[in-house]
């Protein structure tokens, strides 16, 4: 496809959208106006795009593939690197959603089923959502505590550099990234510390594009992604000096097994640190609203079940670690000095962060729907957008009620 002047050429379009949405937000009765405005902007953008001469929709993996408003959206689930064929997306969505339908999702039976099928569940999930994450969020698929006057990207990198500091990462050391995604944190941390980092992810697509990003950024001598299961790591005993996990082991069906594998590949005395998704604080398992939010987060993020901080610490201890410190990095989430970790999903109507906001997600959903109707996007793309929109609302509500945090920090030493 031919990109029309990049993001700048869509500034007038976005301005009109923001004006319309601002008016609609002020008056709840204008929801219909909002939807028409969003749909109209999407349609206009597509007409503008496809009114020009087309050219092959190639991905360069230079960090800019998803920057263009329309051209970036046409690459969602629809690029040469994707492991899913265009006609396989809908079946993959249906198979994923089947794991969360037709039963009490918090029942022991439902949790056991997701634990037993977690490899398929997590792999299917990331086949479907990786492009959407990068489109809206960037290459670091995680949240972070954020202080007033701190930009979103700054908070993300500070969260990663904090791990470098606590783990003492430095040149010559070998670090393991447990559940590395496409390697955004790995690249930031390698540049910061000059440490050698090996990442593992169960998803083939993430390995392929992550290693391409490493090469594009010139850090392939320091960073490498391997496809594998963090429940059964492919390295020998004592291979790594340190290890970390950033909002990844929430996918584990058995944290004791996962943490035991990390301990096995660490040298004696090696440190393991990370951020974990947990329910905590005010969470009440007898409160239907709390349970609904918890299940929504699990459904929209490919999780067997959300753990508690106590369970995470217990699992680390059983795996052979001495837990040195643990706390909620978002403990000041509603301090007057901080911006809540969920704020980007909830508001922040700026052009730069627009795609991540609620209205931005609605706009993206309309755009993806239209592309799917025109048979440009694969059938099922709008279902992925729907799943992510729903879970974003649950994440925001979980944060507002302080019954969930994505950033429960821990650091432990191999005994």
Concatenated DSSP letters of 153-213:
HHHHHHHHHHHHHHHT--TT-EEEEES-TTSHHHHHHHHHH--EEEEEES-HHHHHHHHHH
For residue 66, the model assigns a pLDDT of 85
pTM value is 0.87
Give the Cα separation of 392 and 404 in Å (integer): 13
Concatenated DSSP letters of 38-53:
HHHHHHHHHHHHHTSP
Q: Which residues contact 90 (CB under 8 A, 6 or more apart)?
A: 378, 379, 380, 383
For residue 28, the model assigns a pLDDT of 40
Contact 206, 182 (CB under 8 A): yes
For the record, the structure tokens of 69 come out as: 């408003």
For the record, the structure tokens of 143 come out as: 């949240």
Phi, psi of 346, deg, nearest 5: -100, -25
Secondary element (H or E) of residue 400: helix 381-400
pLDDT in tens, the chain (415 residues): 333 334 444 444 444 444 544 444 444 444 444 554 555 555 545 544 554 444 445 688 888 888 877 678 888 898 889 999 999 999 999 999 998 986 677 888 888 889 899 899 999 999 999 999 998 899 999 999 999 999 999 999 999 999 999 999 999 999 999 999 999 999 999 999 999 999 999 999 999 999 999 999 999 999 999 999 999 999 999 999 999 999 999 999 999 999 999 999 999 999 999 999 999 989 999 999 999 999 999 999 999 999 999 999 999 999 999 999 999 999 999 999 999 999 989 865 454 566 777 788 888 888 899 889 888 899 999 999 999 999 999 999 999 999 999 999 999 999 9
DSSP one-letter code for 242: E
């Amino acid at each position: 496809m031919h990109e029309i002047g990049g993001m700048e050429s869509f500034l007038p379009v976005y301005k009109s959208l923001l004006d319309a949405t601002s008016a609609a937000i002020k008056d709840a009765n204008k929801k219909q106006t909002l939807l028409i405005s969003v749909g109209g902007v999407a349609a206009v953008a597509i007409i503008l795009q496809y009114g020009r001469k087309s050219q092959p929709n190639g991905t360069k993996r230079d960090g800019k593939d998803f920057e263009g408003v329309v051209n970036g959206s046409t690459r969602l689930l629809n690029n040469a690197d994707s492991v899913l064929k265009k006609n396989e997306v809908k079946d993959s969505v249906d198979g994923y959603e089947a794991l969360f339908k037709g039963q009490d999702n918090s029942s022991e039976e439902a949790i056991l089923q997701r634990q037993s099928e977690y490899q398929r569940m997590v792999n299917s999930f990331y086949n479907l959502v990786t492009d959407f994450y990068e489109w809206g969020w960037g290459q670091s698929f995680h949240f972070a505590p954020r202080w007033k006057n701190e930009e979103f990207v700054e908070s993300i990198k500070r969260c990663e550099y904090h791990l470098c500091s606590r783990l003492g990462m430095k040149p010559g050391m070998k670090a393991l990234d447990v559940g590395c995604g496409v390697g955004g944190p790995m690249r930031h941390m390698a540049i910061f510390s000059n440490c050698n980092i090996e990442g593992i992810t169960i998803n083939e697509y993430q390995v392929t594009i992550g290693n391409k990003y490493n090469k594009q950024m010139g850090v392939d001598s320091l960073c490498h992604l391997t496809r594998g299961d963090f429940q059964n790591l492919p390295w020998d005993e004592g291979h790594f000096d340190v290890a970390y996990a950033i909002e990844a082991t929430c996918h584990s069906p058995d944290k004791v097994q996962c943490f035991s594998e990390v301990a096995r590949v660490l040298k004696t005395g090696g440190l393991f640190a990370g951020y974990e998704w947990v329910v905590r604080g005010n969470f009440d398992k007898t409160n239907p609203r709390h349970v609904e939010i918890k299940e929504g987060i699990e459904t929209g993020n490919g999780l067997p079940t959300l753990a508690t901080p106590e369970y995470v610490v217990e699992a680390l201890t059983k795996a052979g670690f001495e837990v040195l410190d643990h706390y909620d990095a978002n403990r000041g989430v509603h301090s007057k000095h901080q911006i809540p970790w969920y704020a980007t999903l909830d508001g922040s109507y700026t052009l730069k962060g627009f795609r991540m906001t609620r209205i931005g997600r609605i706009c993206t959903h309309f755009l993806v729907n239209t592309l799917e109707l025109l048979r440009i996007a694969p059938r099922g793309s709008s279902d992925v957008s729907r799943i992510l929109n729903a879970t974003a609302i649950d994440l925001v509500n979980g944060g507002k009620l302080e019954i969930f945090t994505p950033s429960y920090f821990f650091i432990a030493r191999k005994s």
